Amino acid sequence: MTRFYPYGLACISLLLASGFYLYVWPLMPYVFIELQTWQRELTHSISQLLSLAHEYPLKALFYVSAASISYGFLHAIGPGHGKVIMVSYLSTHPTKVKTSLILSISAALLQALVAIVLVSALLFVLETSMREVNARASYLIDASFVAMILLGLHLAWKSIRDFLKQNIKQKANDKAHSHEHDHSHDYGHSQDEHSHSQDHDHSHDHACGCSHKHHASPADIDEAKNLKDYIGIVFSIGVRPCSGALLVLIFAKSLGIYWLGMIGAIAMGVGTGAAISLLAFVSIKGAAWLRRFIKPASQGSQWRELFLRLGAASFICVMGVIMMQGTSLLFSPVL
Amino acid sequence: MSSVIKLVFLPLVFGLMSLYAHAHPHAWIDVQTYVDGEDKKVYGINMVWRFDPMTSVYLLEGKNLEKQQKLTSLEEVAKGLVDNLKRDSFFTQVSWNQEVLANLDASLERVTIDGLDVVFSFYLGFDEPLLLDQCELGIQVFDPSYFIEMSWPSANDLQLSDALSSVCQRQVLESEPSMEQISQAWAMPIDASPDLTLGAVFAQQSQIACQ
């Protein structure tokens, strides 16, 4: 029975892909234009609300927060580097839903925080001009793409390392999917994977055989084990300040209501976090659903896993490179 | 099987990548255009650009807007805009007689503040009047890099002078980019080709024809 699964899976994927290609893809320009119109209208309302804040502070607070959350959400539906990272990672690395939510929200809030720190430091501490902020923001944006490339390389290296380790281990004891460990030295960790400390990441050169379980259910995944990945993900998403947040802060500063700008920036982060969480949830569930069709722990599945993970890692890398070539100024240089 | 994968997934991945590679606009300009001329002859174009509030703040930053200084400050802003926009032909593409007019020059530039918006107006005069008895006149207003989205909010925002409108008609066509066009435009570096840039893909097209 199980040997029909790959064919069933191929059929379903093919149908889904062709349906997407035929019916959803041609609609993309319209979706994109529609999103842009919304964004424009929200930007306009936010500016108007901010300008009324001196007269009606409480109402402005409420409406600015509401509009900013929507802005953050809609903005995050559009194209962005955060989604590339999240989807690529989560669909190829089983992760707990809760973890993915924490990742999404901390990345989005870090984005808001970076925007606030950047604008505050430049406008209040250094008293530079917005033109300076515009130029500086592009450094952070570039840093984010460099971080993306590094994250991709790290994930690729990790997937190859795990693959080799598992193969060596399998050859050694000829037991597929063994949970036993073949410690050649003592790093102070027990047989139980869950007790691995962060040191794990530094001990890879020693072929200690503390392999990742490629077909572990999300519940089995050790959080600490992937902490480095998580920090990399949150950092590479979060270090790029949300352009909307920068605009709101700069605008609020010019109206003398910087506090409301900060609230707006955080609200945008919340909206962005919600959108990324939603996407993260879909990626995890989709990947889990697909995995049900894959026969566990065969030689072939290891190869498949390796290619999937390498694919995801190189996708993150390539996107980082592509994005770095784009312009990353907030305002057009002609203005 | 591999050919199926190529057929289905490659355009998908390619399309997605080009989508992600693009920075969408965060600045908007509402454009009003008055075409100046008479009797099938067009002398120039009068532009009124209204910037969105956030971009307006950026434009006015560091300028002294106290009463005595305000006029000179706004003149500075207007001059700065003209200087910067000259390289980009004032984001205005005028096609006439199967050619795109080059070296447009602006005069009468003026910046005012209306509520939260900066309003920038200027006049683009042509070296010689363009005769429209044989051919149509096409006007497009767009930022090729698509940093700024520019549009005529309604067809009425493109107006012909009274002396022109008695013999000529105008038409504003909305852009309807296809996915292929979008991916093609986004896959290109911003200054790669003058014919196909991201801004052009999303630009409205206007036509003025006279009987």
Q: List, for residues A209-230, the tens digit of each pLDDT value.
A: 444 444 544 445 555 678 888 8
Q: How far apart are CA B62 and CA B74, in angstroms?
A: 11
| A192 vs A46, higher pLDDT | A46
The reply to whether residue B17 touches residue A318, judged by beta carbons under 8 angstroms, is yes
Judging contacts by C-beta atoms under 8 Å, the chain B residues touching residue A330 are: 26
pLDDT exceeds cutoff 80 at A85: yes
Name the residue among B9, B23, B189 with its Cβ closest to that of A17.
B9
Residue A167: CA atoms inside 13 Å, Cβ hemisphere, count? 13
CB distance from A82 to chain B under 8 Å?
no
Q: What is the pLDDT of residue A210?
A: 42
The reply to whether residue B179 touches residue A25, judged by beta carbons under 8 angstroms, is yes
> Band of the pLDDT at B5, cuts 50, 70, 90?
very low
Q: What is the pLDDT of residue A274?
A: 92
Q: What is the pLDDT of residue A158?
A: 85
Q: Where are the domains of chain B?
A: 2-210
The mean pLDDT value of chain A amounts to 75
Q: DSSP code of B22?
A: P
Three-state SS sequence of B98-133: CEECCCCEEEEEEEEEECCEEEEEEEEEEEEEEECC
Chain B nearest-CA distance from A204, in A, is 33
Quickly count: other Cβ atoms within 10 Å of residue B2's Cβ. Answer: 6
* pLDDT tens-digit map of B197-208: 678 878 899 999
Lowest mean pLDDT among A69-78, A108-117, A300-309, B101-110: A300-309
| B119 vs A211, higher pLDDT | B119
> Band of the pLDDT at A26, cuts 50, 70, 90?
low
Q: How far apart are CA B106 and CA B108, in angstroms?
A: 7
CB distance from B9 to chain A under 8 Å?
yes
Name the residue among A81, A326, A335 with its Cβ closest to that of B58.
A335
Q: What is the pLDDT of residue B112?
A: 95
Judging contacts by C-beta atoms under 8 Å, the chain B residues touching residue A334 are: 81, 84-85, 87-88, 143, 147
CB distance from A37 to chain B under 8 Å?
no
Q: What is the pLDDT of residue B44?
A: 93
Q: How far apart are CA A51 and CA A71, in angstroms?
A: 18
Looking at mean pLDDT, say which of A51-60, A105-114, A136-145, A152-161 comes out highest: A105-114
CB distance from A19 to chain B under 8 Å?
no
Chain B nearest-CA distance from A81, in A, is 7
Q: How far apart are CA A97 and CA B102, in angstroms?
A: 57
The reply to whether residue A28 touches residue B147, judged by beta carbons under 8 angstroms, is no
Mean pLDDT of B136-155: 89
Of A70, A105, A71, the residue nearest A86 (C-alpha): A105
Element (H, E) at B51: strand B41-51
CB distance from B58 to chain A under 8 Å?
yes
The mean pLDDT value of chain B amounts to 82
In the structure encoding, which two tokens stand for residue A133, read together? Answer: 């902020």
Distances (CA, A) of A294 to A10, A90, A298: 11, 17, 10
Helix ranges (H only) for A52-95 are 57-77, 81-92
pLDDT exceeds cutoff 80 at B180: no
Lowest mean pLDDT among B76-80, B143-147, B186-190: B186-190
Q: List residues bridging with B208 in a β-sheet.
A: B137, B170
CB distance from A172 to chain B under 8 Å?
no
In the structure encoding, which two tokens stand for residue A302, read together? Answer: 């290891």
What is the count of residue pairs from A and B with beta carbons less than 8 Å apart?
125
Q: What is the pLDDT of residue A310?
A: 85
Name the residue among B8, B21, B60 with its Cβ closest to that of A18.
B8
Mean pLDDT of A93-117: 88
> Band of the pLDDT at B138, cuts 50, 70, 90?
very high
Distances (CA, A) of B104 to A20, A176, A210, B185, B197: 45, 73, 69, 25, 20
Judging contacts by C-beta atoms under 8 Å, the chain B residues touching residue A29 are: 177-179, 182
* pLDDT tens-digit map of B12-31: 554 454 444 445 677 899 99
CB distance from B191 to chain A under 8 Å?
no
pLDDT exceeds cutoff 50 at B104: yes
CB distance from B15 to chain A under 8 Å?
yes
Name the residue among B1, B8, B116 with its Cβ closest to that of A17.
B8
Name the residue among B21, B52, B59 with its Cβ closest to that of A43.
B52
CB distance from A273 to chain B under 8 Å?
no
> Band of the pLDDT at A298, cuts 50, 70, 90?
low
Q: List residues bridging with A9 in a β-sheet.
A: none
Residue B181: CA atoms inside 13 Å, Cβ hemisphere, count? 15
Q: Which residues of A59-76 are buried (b: 16+ CB within 10 A; e: fewer)?
A: ebbebbbebbbbbbbbbb
Residues 6+ apart with CB under 8 A from A144: A81, A236, A237, A239, A240
If contacts are CB pairs under 8 Å, which of residues 289-318 in chain A contact chain B? 318
Lowest mean pLDDT among A12-16, A249-253, B193-197: B193-197
Element (H, E) at B37: strand B27-38
To the nearest whole percent, how much of chain B has pLDDT over 90?
42
pLDDT exceeds cutoff 60 at B142: yes
Q: How far apart are CA A73 and CA A211, in angstroms?
A: 38
| Minimal-distance CA residue of chain A relative to B86 | A334
pLDDT exceeds cutoff 90 at B33: yes
* pLDDT tens-digit map of A138-172: 676 677 778 888 888 888 888 888 888 877 877 77
Mean pLDDT of A272-281: 89
The reply to whether residue A326 touches residue B22, judged by beta carbons under 8 angstroms, is yes
CB distance from A335 to chain B under 8 Å?
yes
> Band of the pLDDT at B184, cuts 50, 70, 90?
low
Lowest mean pLDDT among A82-96, A257-271, B151-165: A82-96
If contacts are CB pairs under 8 Å, which of residues 111-140 in chain B contact chain A? 116
- Contact in structure between A223 and A100 (CB atoms under 8 Å): no
pLDDT exceeds cutoff 80 at A174: no
Name the residue among A44, A84, A328 with its Cβ closest to that of B20.
A84
Name the residue among A43, A327, A335 with its Cβ closest to that of B23.
A327
- Phi/psi for A266 (5° steps) reads -65, -40
Using DSSP's 3-state secondary structure scheme, residue B31 falls into strand
Q: What is the pLDDT of residue B51?
A: 94
Name the residue among A29, A39, A328 with its Cβ closest to that of B178.
A29
Instruction: Report CA torsion sign: A276, A29, A315, A300.
Output: positive
Mean pLDDT of A196-206: 42
Q: What is the pLDDT of residue B183?
A: 60
CB distance from A2 to chain B under 8 Å?
no
CB distance from B109 to chain A under 8 Å?
no
Residues 6+ apart with CB under 8 A from B147: A327, A329, A331, A332, A334, B23, B25, B26, B27
CB distance from A330 to chain B under 8 Å?
yes
Q: What is the pLDDT of residue A21?
A: 67
